[in-house]
Amino acid sequence: MGVPIIADGGIRESGDIVKALAAGADTVMIGKLLAGTDESPGAVVLKNGRRYKIYRGMASMYAMLGREFRLRENEAEALLDASEYSYYAEGVEAYVPYTGSASDVIKRLVAGLRSGMSYLGARNIEELKRNAVFIRVTAASLRESAPHDVEVV
């Protein structure tokens, strides 16, 4: 068919990237995974003793207002027109944990991808897609496959 498939949404860790690629995706959107990095816009804020960055999806009201202020000379006019955004703002605005440099985050994701590929004997993405076998697991199996009964540090 020649149409690239982009996995967008639900990517929380490298294992999700492995599954998306194995299921046929050609690329994976990882904006939220990079939103807490030094290179993402915004300051690091402290909340309950932890460091976060504020993540504003491109369709959030504040992101749209930010673009409006940059595009118009008269900020007062932009404020008066801002009420229209509340009718179609769809993006999320949230705190995301501060994660350091994007380079370090990407290195961890690549290491996880390589690990996932090794379980299938895949040397490249095409082999990953060819060798992948998906099985249904119960909620209990999913819980047992993750660290449990400990506090992860």
Are 119 and 111 in contact, with CB atoms under 8 Å apart?
Answer: no
How is residue 93 written in tokens?
């605005």
Total count of domains within the chain: 1
| Domain extent for 125 | 1-39+102-153
- Tell me, what's the pLDDT at 145? 85
State the average pLDDT over residues 76-105: 72
Q: How far is CA 100 from CA 14, 37, 52, in A?
A: 17, 5, 10
**Among the listed residues 47, 46, 44, 65, the one whose alpha carbon sits nearest the alpha carbon of residue 55:** 44
- The whole-number pLDDT of residue 21 equals 98
Task: Check residues 144 and 57 and name the one with the higher pLDDT.
Answer: 144
CB atoms within 10 A of CB 38: 14
Within the chain, what is the greatest distance between any pair of CA atoms?
A: 60
Q: Is the pLDDT of residue 22 over 80?
A: yes
Whether residue 138 lies inside any domain: the answer is: yes
Q: Looking at residues 29-47, what average pLDDT do you find?
A: 92
User: Does 126 fall in a domain?
Assistant: yes
